[in-house]
Amino acid sequence: MERFVTLVVAGGLALVAGLWAVRLAASLSPIWLGGIVLALIGLAAIGVGIGRELSPDW
């Protein structure tokens, strides 16, 4: 599978998992903070995956 597809799919899964953790956990708990971090990592992975496809230099 192409590298950008792997990044976009994994990033999407991480983003969804992080958002669910934020939604289901109590505010400012360790799980809530972990969900925020996971969602940000997922968002970054999606951005990198899309950037790799759009930029021929990567």
Q: How confident is the model at residue 45 (pLDDT cuts 50, 70, 90)?
A: very high
* Distance in angstroms (rounded) separating the CA atoms of residues 32 and 22: 5
Q: How confident is the model at residue 58 (pLDDT cuts 50, 70, 90)?
A: low
- Which pLDDT tens digit goes with each residue over 4-42? 999 999 999 999 999 999 999 999 999 999 999 999 999
Continuous H helices in the chain: 3-24, 30-54
pTM score: 0.88
* Distance in angstroms (rounded) separating the CA atoms of residues 9 and 46: 8
